[in-house]
Amino acid sequence: MDKVRANLMLCAGTGCVASGTPKVKEALLEELKKRGLDEEIKLVLTGCNGYCAEGPVMAVYPDQVFYQKVTVEDIPILVEEHFLKGRPYQKLMFKEPEKKTAIPRMGDIPFFKHQVLRVLRNKGLIDPEKIEEYISRDGYQAMAKALTEMTSEDIVKVVKDSGLRGRGGAGFPTGLKWDFASKVKSDIKYMLCNGDEGDPGAFMDRSVMEADPHSVIEGMVIGAKAIGAHHGYIYVRAEYPLAVKRLQLAIDQATESGLLGGNILGTGFDFHLEIYLGAGAFVCGEETALMRSLEGKRGMPRPRPPFPAHKGLWDKPSVLNNVETLAQIAPIIMNGSEWYRSLGTEKSAGTKVFALTGAVNNVGLVEVPMGIPLRTIIYDIGGGIRKGRKFKAVQLGGPSGGCIPESHLNTPVTYEDIVATGAIVGSGGMVVMDDNTCMVGTAKFFLEFTADESCGKCTPCRVGTKILLDMLTDITEGKGKESDIETLLDLGRDIISTSLCGLGQTAPNPVLTTIKYFRDEYESHIRDKWCKAGVCRNLTTFWIDEKLCKGCGACLRACPSKAIIGEKKQPHKIIQEVCVHCRTCYEACKFKSIKILPAGFEGDPSELLEAAAAAGEGKKGDSK
């Protein structure tokens, strides 16, 4: 080990593996051996680094040089430049979009610079398949402290005082949940982990399980001691094979090391842990549905009370926390509640992990202090909107969340402030949308998901979400009626107030928030038969402005239906009878010469566009 002068931390999370990490790994090993550097340079496969859109990514320590989009072809020159000539390979470094200046060190890159890592404290720094590397970073120290120095009451008090709230969606105080279960008299109790994570676009829990599985296990053992449980389950969706593999390996290693199983660390405390594979039902993210699934029954929620802390899995007292919540436990026990409260706000303490996706430049996994403004996450960490387009909305909280407009981008990320906008923090999905997005279509997309995932047990959710979806479908197809908007609002509120579980109680949020902030788009769809984003095909006509068209031919080449005609360097034209309204030409045009008009529009397009632009400016001014 004394000969090692550099460690290559190559990301082997799901995203980077899909982008080519296995081939990059083999090429690196081969090149290092070929150059006689295989004993000096150590290659370590880590879990998710967080910068998912730029994978495969690799960090070089102790230099802290960061490389992105590494390919097999880059390996020979990278090894020669960095490890033989001593100069980092600039081609693969992060570059600021405007300055085009290479930034080698991870800590100076905006995406990493503005984050505060607690849950993701080990990301990109350890091999998740080696327990020794977790232990080397103080792993299992908190568990040892909890088992040898603290009573159950002590553990519960520290977690309660920390202000940690469940990161799975509802934000219920973790310490309070543990307190309830600890006070119930029962010979059998269960400690459970929710690793189901069903939100589209969310990958927070998956990444933690892949990159740092022992942090979840350690949190579960501490929680088991707190409530008096001796058996636990990690419920993981079967679509996460890498997470399942690494979790099982971690469980086996911890058991062999005496950190799990019987008589842990010689303290007399037993805790046995198993993995249970879920079939991917979104409703099984709800705690009572998840427990029914664990019992081998159909995953359907049940009325509460009784709450799971009193009557949960197999009718025994049970505590269910999600992956991110459990990964926070060990640092809290080691450093104390005041340390944890030093970040965040009074009611929303600590940090939160978000999966930042959509029309943002820097897609990836980010961890930020609670209370940080949405604008900071999207623009400082996310790098703003792709292709220089305008921000339109951010969907927060997954399909159960809501769409927040630009006027609310200074909203602090706390449970209370986000709920006030009509959205929810949820488990941490954050989908950014630009001005090419149809908000009616967005609401329809999320309703399609929740309506399909409804378990069907209660009528408001089963029938209500289907009615909402049918109405949204009619609006996007040009069949909407003036009364539909008020009906959507009334029905949405009724579904929220009468549904049995969290799925139905939050399913209308995308509809309610898009109507609240983008009502003009609903009105345009219904009254004018016009989808101004050009997404709803039945409500769209594409037209080429001859004054702006350069005749470059980009739209002509891109059109799949051959609906565009024109000579080179001469204005082109769209044959409306052939156009399939696919929007491909609009995306291909670099000169913004293709305009979006109402379906079947007749008349002077320039007058319509000028009137629409003037109306838009007026509304923008009014909103301020």
| CA–CA distance, 2 with 186 (Å, rounded to integer) | 53
CA distances from 113 to 116, 207, 208, 249 (A): 8, 20, 20, 32
- Model confidence pLDDT, tens digit, residues 334-371: 999 999 999 999 999 999 999 999 999 999 999 999 99
Q: Are residues 30 and 95 in the same domain?
A: yes
Q: Are residues 503 and 618 in the same domain?
A: no
Band of residue 607 on the pLDDT scale cut at 50, 70, 90: confident
Distance CA 193, CA 247 (A): 12
Please state the domain count of the chain: 5
Asked if 185 and 331 sit in the same domain, the reply is yes
Q: Label the pairing between strands 272-278 and 231-237.
A: parallel
443 and 428 share a domain?
no
| Residue 204 and residue 163 share a domain | yes
The CATH number assigned to the domain holding 11 equals 3.40.30.10
Residue 423 lies in a domain: yes
User: Do 31 and 104 sit in the same domain of this protein?
Assistant: yes
State the DSSP string of 74-103. Answer: GHHHHIIIIIIS----GGGSEE-TTT--EE
Strand partners, 85: none
Provide the pLDDT for residue 280: 84
Among 434, 463, 486, residue at a domain's last position: 434
Whether 320 and 193 have beta carbons less than 8 Å apart is answered as: yes
116 found inside a domain: no
Residues 260 and 408 in one domain: no
Residue 117 lies in a domain: no
**What is residue 314's DSSP assignment?**
G
Helix (H) / strand (E) element for 234: namely strand 231-237
| CATH code for position 602 | 3.30.70.20
pLDDT in tens, 398-450: 888 999 999 999 999 999 999 999 999 988 889 999 999 999 999 999 999 99
3-state secondary structure 430-468: EEEEECCCCHHHHHHHHHHHHHHHCCCCCHHHHHHHHHH
Distance CA(494)–CA(8), nearest Å, equals 55
What pLDDT does 612 receive?
Answer: 67
Mean pLDDT across 110-137: 96
Let me know if residue 1 belongs to a domain: no
pLDDT, tens digit (0-9, with 9 covering 90-100), for 260-280: 999 999 999 999 999 999 988
CATH code, 357: 3.10.20.600
Predicted confidence (pLDDT) per residue in 41-66, tens digit? 999 999 999 998 899 999 999 999 99
Q: Are residues 193 and 318 in the same domain?
A: yes
CATH number assigned to the domain comprising residue 491: 1.20.1440.230
Among 411, 434, 457, which residue terminates a domain? Answer: 434
- Does residue 331 fall inside a structural domain? yes
Residue 595 lies in a domain: yes
pLDDT, tens digit, for every residue of 540-585? 999 999 999 999 999 999 999 999 999 999 999 999 999 999 999 9
| Domain final residue, candidates 416, 434, 452 | 434
pTM, entire model = 0.92
287 and 392 inside one domain? no
What domain range includes position 582? 540-623
Instruction: Verify that 147 and 271 share a domain, yes or no.
Output: yes
Taking alpha carbons only, the member of 295, 292, 283, 294 closest to residue 455 is 283
Q: Are residues 401 and 471 in the same domain?
A: no
User: Based on the domain organization, do 188 and 301 belong to the same domain?
Assistant: yes
Task: Give the integer Cα–Cα distance in Å for 264 and 558.
Answer: 64
